[in-house]
Amino acid sequence: MRNTKQKYRVGRGAVASVVALLALMTAGCGGPYDATVYGAVTLDGQPLPSGTVSFFPTSDGPTAYSRIDDSGMYQIRTGREKGLPPGEYAVTVVAREKPTVDQSNSGGPPPAGRMLTPQRYRNRDQSGLVYTVEPGANQIDLELTSQPPAG
């Protein structure tokens, strides 16, 4: 009989440990987030058909990201959560041409397509894309140019 009680106590202790661990893991999570960000991404007035948009907080906070869809639209996510915390963000855009299927390439992945976004947009310190995200819905269209800004 003692053996049964000991097993039960160990089982309860394991369950309590798992519950405590889950509580600690979710304690710092700020989601769901108060702000959503979406918009169009264009290069020289044409929608970018693929790529990634990343929002890096200028102070503490999580980095948020989105894939650019075939029509050039994006909607930011932070991990698995839609949206992001309000605040100021430096933004990067990385886009390549979609790879073409090469019939002579046997078995391997297709080679990466040519880079579409200029280098400055791929670096958060050089992109010049800094936005303040307010609580609620934020439409931020990213209008990129091939040529560097004058000046």
* Confidence at 27, pLDDT banded by 50, 70, 90: very low
Q: Which residues contact 80 (CB under 8 A, 6 or more apart)?
A: none
In CATH, which superfamily holds the domain spanning 35-144?
Carboxypeptidase-like, regulatory domain (2.60.40.1120)
pLDDT for the residue numbered 24: 40
pLDDT tens column, 36-95: 999 999 999 999 999 999 999 999 999 999 999 999 999 999 888 888 999 999 999 999
* Confidence at 2, pLDDT banded by 50, 70, 90: low
pLDDT for the residue numbered 26: 41
Average pLDDT over every residue of 135-141: 97
Average pLDDT over every residue of 9-28: 46
Q: Which residues contact 73 (CB under 8 A, 6 or more apart)?
A: 38, 39, 40, 41, 47
User: What's the chain's average pLDDT?
Assistant: 82
CA separation (Å) from 75 to 10, 20, 137, 139?
Answer: 46, 34, 11, 9
Other CB atoms within 10 Å distance of the CB of residue 34: 14
DSSP assignment of 86-120? SEEEEEEEE-BPPPPP-TTS-SSPPPPPPB-S-GG
pLDDT for the residue numbered 33: 86
